[in-house]
Amino acid sequence: MIRRPPRSTPSNSSAASDVYKRQLPLYTYVLLPAEYGIYAVLLSFISLAVFLYTMGIENGLLKYSAETSDRTLLNSTTFWGMIVLAAFFSSLILLFSGNVSSILLKQKDYSPFVKIAAGILFFDTVTRFFIYAIVGEQKSKIYLSISILGGCLTILLNVYLLLFLHLGLRGVFFCHLFSSGIIALIVLIASIRRIQLRFDLKILKKIFLFGYPVMFTSISLVMLNFFDRYLLQVFTTTAEVGKYSAAYKIGMMMNVIVSAFSTGALPFISHVLKDNKNEQELFSKLLSLLFCVMISVFTFLSFFTNEIVRIRVFGYCLLYT
């Protein structure tokens, strides 16, 4: 039988971030509210930085994947552009990790975890290219397989590092660093036929000019969704941030639906416009379906939130009690 591990104090640990939202019961079981608060603040930082890492050029890849006659050149140009940007920004974070830690968490003690976050962001950039490439090719089954693999790998590493090795918040960092690295390696091997040692500056400029306005929109949405954690960190305590962030995750079902729709919308729309279909009728049906699904989920969450937060998963409560 696995016993509950002793909880470490916030001064001896820090937090990592992730795009995976499957470990809420485990995290609230193992981590203190203050530790989870530090985790939430760094999650906000990574969620914002991931868009700066690519400068929106992945959106250009989606846009022009249906129009290009040389997809290999388009993929190669996008990949090398994203890698150079990711290496540049990760180097900056490594050099100024202490400053980043001071700004976000009010002290430099968490700079080693900020450095790990730089590695996570670099690996996620590699994975991000592959995801956008296959979405542009409308290969949803491959996208689903990679998502399931990443989720399962993250959960297994979380269970091993947190419940068996009792690494606490360090385990959260290591878990997402290892899982991001493994997934990046897998997709890099799978992308060999998609990328070559080819680069076209004109294509990069073209996709950048399309993508960078979208980047500002994405950054604005991230700040709207995550800046409240930073404000809570400034005006209250990390423990309050942890409690707030854990409860906030319950409402992320709405965000999952919107993210899934927005990820597949752009390449689908590009193909529809290219084939000269009746896009007005099709788009109205899609938006009506999305609206109905979101209203249904919103109504369900509104009526049953009190029951949802009391659900126990393998003995773990969804929120702190």
pLDDT in tens, 217-247: 778 877 777 777 878 878 877 778 877 777 7
Distance CA 215, CA 320 (A): 35
When comparing pLDDT for 175 and 309, which is higher? Answer: 175
- The amino acid sitting at 148 is I
Mean pLDDT of 30-55: 83
Tell me: pLDDT of 155 over 90: no
The 10 Å Cβ neighbour count of residue 278 is 8
Name the pLDDT band for 17 (thresholds 50, 70, 90): very low
DSSP track, 176-237: HHHHHHHHHHHHHHHTTTT--S---HHHHHHHHHHHHHHHHHHHHHHHHHHHHHHHHHHHS-
State how far the alpha carbon of 83 is from the alpha carbons of 5, 70, 168, 268, in Å: 39, 20, 31, 26
The structure tokens listed for 79 are 């990949």
When comparing pLDDT for 153 and 251, which is higher? Answer: 153
Name the pLDDT band for 103 (thresholds 50, 70, 90): confident
- Residue 314 pLDDT: 58
Name the pLDDT band for 263 (thresholds 50, 70, 90): low
Task: Yes or no: say if 233 and 101 are a contact pair by the CB < 8 Å rule.
Answer: no
Mean pLDDT of 60-76: 79
DSSP 8-state code for residue 18? -
Distance CA 28, CA 209 (A): 43
Among the residues of the chain, which ranges form H helices? 24-30, 33-54, 57-64, 71-95, 97-105, 111-136, 140-158, 169-190, 201-235, 238-248, 252-274, 279-308
Distance CA 70, CA 34 (A): 51
Q: What is the average pLDDT score of the chain?
A: 77
When comparing pLDDT for 133 and 320, which is higher? Answer: 133
Task: Yes or no: say if 166 and 26 are a contact pair by the CB < 8 Å rule.
Answer: no
- Residue 298 pLDDT: 80
When comparing pLDDT for 123 and 69, which is higher? Answer: 123
Mean pLDDT of 202-220: 83
pTM: 0.71
Distance CA 314, CA 318 (A): 10
Distance CA 167, CA 173 (A): 10
Highest mean pLDDT among 32-36, 129-133, 141-145, 235-239: 129-133
- Residue 313 pLDDT: 59
Tell me: pLDDT of 164 over 60: yes
Distance CA 25, CA 27 (A): 6
Which residue is associated with the tokens 């193992």? 30
What backbone phi and psi angles, to 5 degrees, belong to 314? Answer: 55, 40
Per-residue burial over 247-261, b if 16 or more Cβ lie within 10 Å, else e, is bebeeeeeeebeeeb
- Residue 92 pLDDT: 94
- Residue 119 pLDDT: 93
- Residue 87 pLDDT: 93
Mean pLDDT of 175-179: 90
Tell me: pLDDT of 95 over 60: yes
Task: Yes or no: say if 22 and 179 are a contact pair by the CB < 8 Å rule.
Answer: no
Portion of the chain with pLDDT greater than 70, in percent: 78
Half-sphere exposure at residue 136, Cβ-oriented, CA atoms within 13 angstroms: 24
DSSP 8-state code for residue 11? G
Task: Yes or no: say if 117 and 45 are a contact pair by the CB < 8 Å rule.
Answer: yes
Distance CA 51, CA 216 (A): 9
